[in-house]
Chains A and B, each alone.
Chain A
């Protein structure tokens, strides 16, 4: 080798691990930023649940001035149901221990988006309660909005490395194909040996 460092020798069986190591090194900023975002999300989630609980137990009255509300007592009953539905929709998200950093945060983001979607659906289902208690929901909305911001931040972070992840996946798939070929060759080699034994048994 006249130019540059000599090639590093890697056993075929160790290729995938070696690739993962290089990929992790390349996306290492994602790990730190992702962890911060995940922590923010779970903190905000706790705050959100707390705000929902405070809302549920508060004696706040529905605001009926700007709305056409025929039955205020049903709105009051709906308040508790709405709070319970929100509490059921929201929960802390654990980061998976499987896969690369990129895959783990992608999974985290997918779960987070699904949860945001659920909260939106609950809001839509309790539309009247949501508007009637607009003032009482301010704190809860602030936390939820921060959760949404975190989701967007994480999405942007992942987007930044999506090209690297595509390249990693391509190399990983090529390595897996390569290992399958080696395995097939090994198994055919074993069958050749078996064929020789059979030929011997037939005294050819």
Chain B
């Protein structure tokens, strides 16, 4: 039980560590993308595309293909700025195109998958502990019931012995009959 509790505690530590790492990566990505928020919305309005969704939450990019699509959209945005279709500085777009977000995304997905696995493991250990606790509780309950029963039987044995003697004395007193009561053993 102690070993399992130790395992559970370690698993929870790992989950907390993974949560923190994921939050850090997401935070870094979001702060990089934040300056493009307004421009991406304008771009989406003119082009009918959905760049701002990726800008708001880059973790929606699950594959390299998604990332290539994102780069393509950024280049299109750059073209819109250069062609003065959208008013703004192409500097932030340029900076983003040079930034290797793909390796951040890969790390994020790896961490997310590790987190999911760790959560499953944590649930498994917690279930096992709860099952063992329930079993221990039942064992204790049965032991208590048994103790109560033993006490009741011991009390009954005392009462039965007294009553038996008393009844035997009544037969002698009322009918002059000496009897011995035989009790069937169970």
Chain A contact residues, CB within 8 Å of chain B: 4-13, 15, 18-19, 22-23, 26, 164, 167-168, 170-171, 174-175, 177-178, 181-182, 184-186, 188-192, 195, 198-199, 202, 204
Between A and B, how many residue pairs show CB distances below 8 Å?
Answer: 95
Q: List 16 A-B contacts (CB under 8 A).
A: A4-B178, A8-B180, A22-B174, A22-B175, A164-B174, A167-B174, A177-B163, A178-B160, A181-B159, A182-B183, A185-B157, A185-B186, A186-B186, A189-B186, A192-B149, A192-B150
Q: Is B38 an interface residue (CB 8 A)?
A: no
Stretch at the interface among B99-107, B108-116, B135-143: B135-143
> Are B179 and A10 in contact, CB atoms less than 8 angstroms apart?
yes
- A188 / chain B contacts, CB cutoff of 8 Å: 149, 152-153, 156
Smallest CB-CB separation from A187: which chain B residue?
Answer: B186
13 more A-B residue pairs beyond the given contacts A167-B174, A202-B139, with a C-beta to C-beta distance below 8 A = A6-B178, A10-B180, A12-B181, A18-B179, A22-B174, A22-B175, A23-B175, A167-B173, A175-B167, A182-B183, A185-B153, A189-B186, A195-B146
- A4 / chain B contacts, CB cutoff of 8 Å: 178
- A6 / chain B contacts, CB cutoff of 8 Å: 178
- B157 / chain A contacts, CB cutoff of 8 Å: 185
Chain B interface residue count, CB cutoff 8 Å, equals 33
Shortest CB-to-CB span from B143 to chain A, Å, is 8
7 cross-chain pairs, A with B, having the tightest CB-CB distances, nearest first: A7-B180, A7-B178, A22-B175, A167-B174, A171-B170, A178-B163, A185-B156
Main secondary structure of the interface of B (DSSP, over half): helix
Shortest CB-to-CB span from B160 to chain A, Å, is 5
Smallest CB-CB separation from B173: which chain A residue?
Answer: A167
Shortest CB-to-CB span from A204 to chain B, Å, is 5
> Are B175 and A26 in contact, CB atoms less than 8 angstroms apart?
yes
Q: Is B95 an interface residue (CB 8 A)?
A: no
Shortest CB-to-CB span from A61 to chain B, Å, is 62
